[in-house]
Structure 1
Amino acid sequence: MLTAKLALRNILRNRRRSILTILSMGGGYLLLSFMLAMTEGSYNHIIDVFTRDHTGHIQIHQGNYLERPSLYKTIDHAAPLITQLKKDNQVTGITPRIYGPSLAYGKDKTFPANVIGIDPIAEASTTYLKNKVQQGHYLSNGMTSHGYYPAMVGQALAKNLHLTIGDELVLISQGIDGSIANDIYEITGIVGTQDSYERMNVYLSLSAMQQFLSMGDQVHELAISLTHQTYAAPFANQLQQWFKLQEHEPYRALTAAPWQVVESTFFNSMQADKKGNYISMGILIFIVSIGVLNTVLMGILERTREFGVLKAIGTRPAAVFRLIMLESLILAAASCIFGLIFALPANYWLTVVGITLPEPIDMGGILFETMLGEITMFSMGVPALVVIGSTLLVSLVPGIRASRISPLKALQAA
């Protein structure tokens, strides 16, 4: 208790210097919190847009389909698995998909196309595909009024084949039973842009695709969206363990991969960019720490005779060391409280309003117009730990010096 009183007295004795120190460290807390909220919020927003574009947060395949895709690596009896997964509160959407490279024939030209069979309703609840329709309307189940299955094509493919809404599209591929797959479809929608993921795709309803490739109820992929992208890796691990415990052979051979694995190149590039931001934060922390070190050193040099008196009357070196460290801790805590008062409204504004980009970024047909922040325990707690930790760290050397000083030399100091 006595040590705390002495620490408060010493801090209040030179109010101007203490206030400047609190302002300096509080400003460091504010900047760190703002940078972390901006960084984490922007990355999470980009990841959400990217994963909701087409990848999903988790993908389920048969065996090593992700590394070596094959028409014959299918998920059998997918419907019961989908029903089971939908019961989990973290799952917000799950959509089955079938992939089949095909030759597409338009009015007078042919072009290779990636044909994807989807459940239109499930896909709309899992990805942004429905929002990316540029012409016509979104894919539907059933047949058109002309007796054809509807097809939705990417904009680049439609341009290459000179196709528009209402035209016929012929697809030729190989069925899973070894037969030649061919059929005629009616274009009801054009989706994406010239540079988006969908540019060379053809989308058919799941039933139309299964009939086209003679696949029965088999699918190639299950894409899952979760309440938040940070749950992807642990949820995929739990799902993989659950597959291993299943008695049915088809489920034991399944693999669950989070978006970090499915889109490893994108994930690695973001991690590298994050490291660059952390270097900038480290420089800011260093500058704040130098200011704190200067304040602590000045305080100790001015009080050298005082420490000599304390040592002369029998004060233990450990007590002197605790006194200095407690003073630094109080200053750091006060700085964090001061910084928090300004950081909360600033980060709230960043989370709700954000920073509008001068030029929107096209991410596969989805315009990324605003950089949003995110208020989390990480963005608010880490700056406090950094400020307090760096303050205590730079106070160690002055504290040890003051605790070991000789009373005679201290009292002789000018």
Structure 2
Amino acid sequence: MMLLKLALRNIFRNRRRSLLTLLSMSGGYFLLATMLSMSEGSYSHIINLFTQDHTGHVQVHHSDYLSRPSPYKTIDNLSLLLEQISQQDDVTSASPRIYAPALAFANDKTFPVQVIGIDPHLEARTTLLAQKVTQGSWLENSMTGQGLFTAMIGSSLAKNLHLGVGDELILISQGIDGSIANDIFSISAIVGTAESYERNNVYLSLLGANEFLSTNNQAHEIAIALENQSQARHFAANIDLPPELTAAPWQKIEESFYKSMQVDKKGNYISLAVIMFLVSIGVLNTVLMGTMERTREFGVLKAIGTRSELVFMLILLESALLAIASCIVGLLLALLPITYLSRTGLLLPEPIDIGGVQFQVMLGEFSAFVLLLPAITVIASTVLVSLFPAYRAATTVPVQAMQAT
């Protein structure tokens, strides 16, 4: 208790210097918190857009389908597995998909495409595909009056084959049973843009894809949407699946995107470290100057029997109290802008394309991590740079100290 009283007395003894030090550290906290909020919030927003665009948070495949895709590596007993996955606590939705390369023909032109069979209802709940329909209407799991299954096509494919809503498209591929797959489909919608993931895809209903590719209650992939993208690794590692199947989080499915994002985040952390280094230099200068000015005081304390470790702790306690006070002030200053950034964000003048996803709003993040990490950093760095002045004061020789001018 006595040590605390001495520390508070020394802080208030030179109010101007203490105030300037407090403001410097408060500014450091403010910058760290706001920059960290923008960094973490923007990355979380990008990840949410990216995973909701088409990948989902977790995907289930045949054990080596990701490394060596094959139309014969299917997920069997699809209905039972979907029901089991949907009953998991963290799952919001799960959508099965069938993939097949095909040749599209229309208006005397051919074009290579990727055929994707989806459950229209489940896919609309799992990804943003339904929101990307630019012309026509969302896919239906039924035939038209002419006895044709409907299909949605990407915008680039529509442009290359001069197709529009209501036109007919011929697809030629290979069925899973080894037969030649060919059929005519009626175009119900155009989806995506020339830069988006869907640009050269053909989307069929699961019923239409089963008929076209001769499958029976099978899929190549199940895309799973979770309540929070941060749960992806844990969910993929702990989900109970048949031995021939495996679950992969989005970090593995889109590994190149994830690695590039991690590199960019490390660059941001370096910038934050530079800011904290500059603040720490100012704190070191202030603490060292204050310690040198009180050399005679420390000499007297040592002369009357004060132990060296108490003098050492006194200096560290003064620095820690200033750091804690500066974090409180910095928190009060940062609350309003962080709240605004997390709710409204900053609108970019032009959208940025990241992995085929259009990103135009930079959102901040309001979380315990954003508020606590800067506080821990400020307090830890302040105590760290105070170690040398504290050691210098603790090792003061009483006779030499009291003779100092």
Query: Equivalent residue for 2:323?
Result: 332
* AA matched with 1:338: V
120-129 or 87-96: bigger deviation: 87-96
**What secondary structure does 1:104 align onto?**
strand
Instruction: State the 1:146 CA deviation.
Output: 2.2
Q: Tell me, yes or no, if structure 1 residue 7 matches structure 2 residue 7.
A: yes
Q: Is the 8 A contact 1:30 1:340 kept in 2?
A: yes
Aligned pair partner of 2:349 in 326, 351, 358: 358
Q: Is the 8 A contact 1:132 1:365 kept in 2?
A: no
Distance 1:64 1:364 in 2: 24
Q: Is the 8 A contact 1:232 1:258 kept in 2?
A: yes
Q: Tell me, yes or no, if structure 1 residue 271 matches structure 2 residue 262.
A: yes
Distance 2:127 2:354 in 1: 14
Q: Tell me, yes or no, if structure 1 residue 392 matches structure 2 residue 389.
A: no
1:296-315 paired onto structure 2 within 5 Å: 296-315=287-306
Cα root mean square deviation, aligned: 1.0
* AA matched with 1:160: N
* AA matched with 1:329: A
Distance 2:146 2:353 in 1: 36
1:372-391 paired onto structure 2 within 5 Å: 372-391=363-382
Query: Equivalent residue for 1:115?
Result: 115
Query: Equivalent residue for 2:141?
Result: 141
Q: Is the 8 A contact 2:257 2:355 kept in 1?
A: no
Instruction: State the 1:344 CA deviation.
Output: 1.3
Instruction: State the 1:88 CA deviation.
Output: 2.1
4+ runs deviating over 3 angstroms: 362-367
1:343-354 paired onto structure 2 within 5 Å: 343-354=334-345
Q: Percent identity?
A: 60
Distance 1:156 1:358 in 2: 26
Query: Equivalent residue for 2:60?
Result: 60
Distance 2:105 2:282 in 1: 70
Give the TM-score normalised by the residue count of structure 1: 0.96
Distance 2:265 2:359 in 1: 19
Runs of 5+ in structure 1 lacking a partner? 244-250
**What secondary structure does 2:319 align onto?**
helix
**What secondary structure does 1:146 align onto?**
coil
**What secondary structure does 1:252 align onto?**
coil
Q: Tell me, yes or no, if structure 1 residue 323 matches structure 2 residue 314.
A: yes
Query: Equivalent residue for 1:293?
Result: 284
1:168-247 paired onto structure 2 within 5 Å: 168-239=168-239, 242-243=240-241
**What secondary structure does 1:368 align onto?**
strand
**What secondary structure does 2:386 align onto?**
helix
* AA matched with 2:151: A
Q: Is the 8 A contact 1:132 1:366 kept in 2?
A: no
Distance 1:291 1:332 in 2: 13
1:160-196 Cα shifts (integer Å, max 9, x gaps):
1111111111111111111111111000100011111
* AA matched with 1:409: Q
* AA matched with 1:386: T
**What secondary structure does 1:164 align onto?**
coil
TM-aligned CA distance change 1:343 to 1:386, over 3 Å: same
**What secondary structure does 2:69 align onto?**
coil
TM-aligned CA distance change 1:151 to 1:363, over 3 Å: farther
Distance 2:160 2:332 in 1: 58
